[in-house]
């Protein structure tokens, strides 16, 4: 087990090294340097610059340093906990990253807090009896909501609750300080999009457990049906959904760019999009490393959790 985790972590470090190197190569190209210049000085100013002035500007930003030197510097700083400086926001990357991660964390917390109970309840209800009307209805609801893309859910909810009923604000930029009301629509959008997937996984797992021998034995022994479901079936049926839920962490971190952009919520995904559009290399580097870290970590957690919850699986 320990060996497996170490192997995974080693692979993660290797992947991070490859990813950061590739990103550096991409963003070190002349095209992206020019893009930063255009974004900062304006298109006309850049086209009016002489070659010498442009070089001076590059030097002032520290962009004229040869590639390998820059990469080595960045690596060295990284190990000292210095993530570099954002060109676009003109702040330290570490502070910006922590701020945005906190925002996305709050969003993710509420999505999980609502999505997990809803999805598990629906999935269990559907899976208790495969093919029954309750199964058909809940399964259809799950497919239906998962099929509506996040952007469409966001639009429909905004039109209903913000533009029509005017109960909630349409944007979540939090301009006037932190406002819980502004969090409702993004959370609702993500819950509606995501619960169907988890519910379907729970349903499949529950349905499989309900057909197994030990459940039949328990029912034939005369144990009340509710007790069989709560005591015997649920324990095994909730193992598979657990791994799926942990893997949603990864999606919530960086897969929700659209929702954050649509509602103008200052989260991690929006930061990455803005940085990529601006060519803000240090922000992208830091953000991508965090994303890769969370992706691999959530995989490891889900694997470990699976082995702990399911004693039939043991890694040798």
Partner 1 sequence: MAVTEAPLPRPALVEILRSTKAMGTLLSLVWVPLTIYVMFPNSVPDGIRDSLLIPSIPAVLILYAVGVHSWRESRVAVIGLTLICFWLLMAVSAPYLPLADPNKPIMPFAVPGAERDGHIFWLGADFKGRDMLSRAIWGCQRVLVWGVTATLIAYIVGTLFGLLAGYLAGWWDEIISFVANVFLSFPVMVLFILILNYLGPSGFNIVIAVTFASAPAVMRIVRGLTLDIKQRDYVLAAQTRGEHPFYIMVVELLPNARGPIIVDACLRLGYTTVAITTLTFLGLGLQPPDPDWGLMIRESAGTAMLWKFSYMLLVPALSVSSMILGFNLLADGLREMSLRD
Which positions lie near partner 1, rule CB under 8 A? 11-12, 15, 18-19, 23, 26, 31-32, 143-144, 146-152, 155-156, 158-159, 163-164, 170, 250, 253-255, 257-258, 261-262, 269, 272-273, 276-277, 279, 284, 287-288, 291-292, 295-296
Cβ nearer to partner 1, comparing 104 with 229: 104
User: How deeply is 107 buried, as exposed, middle or buried, from its count of CB atoms within 10 A (0-12, 13-18, 19+)?
Assistant: buried
Nearest distance from residue 48's CB to partner 1, in Å? 24
Cβ nearer to partner 1, comparing 215 with 275: 275
Cβ nearer to partner 1, comparing 135 with 229: 135
Q: And the tokens for 109?
A: 């917390």
| Whole-angstrom distance, CA of residue 277 vs CA of residue 39 | 10
Cβ nearer to partner 1, comparing 15 with 118: 15
Nearest distance from residue 17's CB to partner 1, in Å? 10
Q: Is 222 helix (H, G, I), strand (E, B) or coil?
A: coil
Nearest distance from residue 159's CB to partner 1, in Å? 4
Nearest distance from residue 104's CB to partner 1, in Å? 12
For 272: left if phi > 0, alpha if psi spans -120 to 50, otherwise beta; the answer is alpha
Cβ nearer to partner 1, comparing 169 with 218: 169
Nearest distance from residue 152's CB to partner 1, in Å? 4
Q: What is the DSSP string of 60-111?
A: HHT--S-HHHHHHHHHHHHHTT---B-TTT-SBHHHHHHHHHHHHHHHHHHH
Nearest distance from residue 26's CB to partner 1, in Å? 6
Cβ nearer to partner 1, comparing 276 with 304: 276
Q: Is 42 helix (H, G, I), strand (E, B) or coil?
A: coil
Cβ nearer to partner 1, comparing 218 with 272: 272
| Whole-angstrom distance, CA of residue 125 vs CA of residue 128 | 6
| Whole-angstrom distance, CA of residue 261 vs CA of residue 257 | 6
Q: Is 151 helix (H, G, I), strand (E, B) or coil?
A: helix
**Owner of token pair 């209903």:** 160
> 67-79 vs 2-27: helix axis angle to the nearest 10?
140
b/e map of 148-159 (b: 16 or more CB within 10 Å)?
Answer: bebeebbeebbe
Cβ nearer to partner 1, comparing 138 with 254: 254
Closest of 245, 304, 241 to residue 315, by C-alpha: 304
Nearest distance from residue 22's CB to partner 1, in Å? 8
Nearest distance from residue 296's CB to partner 1, in Å? 6
């Amino acid at each position: 087990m320990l060996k497996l985790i170490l192997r995974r972590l080693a692979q993660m470090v290797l992947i991070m090294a490859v990813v950061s190197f590739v990103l550096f190569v991409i963003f070190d190209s002349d095209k992206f340097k020019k893009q930063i210049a255009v974004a900062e000085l304006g298109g006309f100013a850049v086209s009016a610059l002489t070659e010498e002035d442009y070089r001076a500007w590059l030097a002032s930003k520290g962009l004229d340093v040869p590639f390998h030197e820059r990469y080595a510097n960045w690596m060295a700083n990284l190990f000292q906990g210095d993530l570099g400086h954002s060109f676009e926001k003109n702040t330290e990357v570490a502070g910006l990253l922590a701020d945005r991660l906190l925002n996305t964390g709050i969003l993710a917390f509420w999505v999980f807090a609502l999505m997990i109970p809803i999805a598990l309840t629906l999935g269990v209800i559907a899976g208790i009896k495969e093919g029954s009307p309750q199964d058909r209805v809940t399964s259809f609801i799950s497919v239906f909501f998962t099929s509506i893309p996040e952007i469409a859910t966001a639009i429909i909810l905004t039109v209903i609750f913000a533009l029509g009923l005017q109960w909630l604000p349409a944007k979540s930029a939090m301009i006037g300080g932190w406002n819980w009301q502004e969090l409702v629509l993004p959370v609702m959008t993500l819950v509606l999009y995501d619960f169907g997937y988890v519910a379907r996984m729970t349903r499949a797992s529950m349905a499989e457990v309900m057909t197994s021998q030990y459940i039949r034995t328990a029912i034939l022994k005369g144990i009340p049906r509710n007790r069989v479901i709560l005591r015997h079936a649920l324990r095994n049926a909730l193992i598979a959904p657990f791994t799926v839920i942990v893997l949603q962490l990864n999606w919530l971190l960086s897969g929700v760019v659209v929702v954050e952009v649509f509602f103008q919520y200052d989260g991690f995904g929006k930061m990455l999009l803005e940085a990529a559009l601006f060519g803000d290399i240090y922000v992208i580097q830091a953000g991508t490393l965090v994303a890769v870290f969370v992706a691999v970590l959530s995989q490891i957690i889900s694997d470990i959790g699976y082995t702990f919850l399911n004693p039939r699986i043991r890694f040798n």
